[in-house]
Amino acid sequence: MITLPDLPYAKDALAPVISANTLEFHYGKHHRAYVDNLNKLIAGTDLADASLEAIIQKAAGDPAKAGIFNNAAQVWNHTFYWKSLKGGGGGKPTGAAAARITAAWGSYEKFAEELKNAGVTQFGSGWAWLVLDGGTLKIAKTANADTPIAHGQKPLLTLDVWEHAYYLDYQNRRPDYLAACIDKLINWDFVNANMV
């Protein structure tokens, strides 16, 4: 059985960038619904006692298990997203991330611009990611519930660009939401921990 993980901070910890009201709906309703739906779908199957990562790997690419994959990947993606953010975060990276981002993009500013652009240009719902792909840092985007762990990439950071992530606070201004998250919420300690 998959459980809804606790948020790593209070529901008002990301305000004013992301309001407590948004977290109440996003975490309390959407994330919870993915957990509940997944548990219904895997009950009584060979996936009932599997880890979330194993469920994603076994369901990826199998049209008969699309519902399982979508809900499992959304549980995983959201859990990773909460950890990618923190109050008082954002801005220029520290630690290993700083050197690797500068080496890959030439500057933090260029990286931030490309990460924001990945989120802005993701048509419809999805995610913008910083990933390790064969040891190389890359910015990626995935549609709907898709996740880099289904493609052999190691996620380091994600930003949710489903409308429910920002609509209560930003309405249709996805670029403003992304810019604010990058400038004020990225959890560089989490990114650095994922690089090892």
| CATH number of domain containing 63 | 1.10.287.990
Residue 193, Cβ neighbours under 10 Å: how many? Answer: 14
pLDDT tier at 63 (50, 70, 90 boundaries)? very high
Q: DSSP characters for 42-101? A: HTTSTTTTS-HHHHHHHHTT-GGGHHHHHHHHHHHHHHHHHHHB-TT--SS--HHHHHHH
Angle at 162 between CA 72 and CA 178, to 5 degrees: 125
Q: What is the pLDDT of residues 89-143, one digit of tens each?
A: 999 999 999 999 999 999 999 999 999 999 999 999 999 999 999 999 999 999 9
Instruction: Mark whether 101 and 188 lie in a shared domain.
Output: yes
pLDDT at 196 over 90: no
35 and 99 part of one domain: no
Question: Is the domain of 27 the same as that of 108?
Answer: no
Q: Give me the domain span that covers residue 67.
A: 20-84
Same domain, 101 and 35: no
pTM for this prediction = 0.96
Encoded amino acid at 25, one letter: F
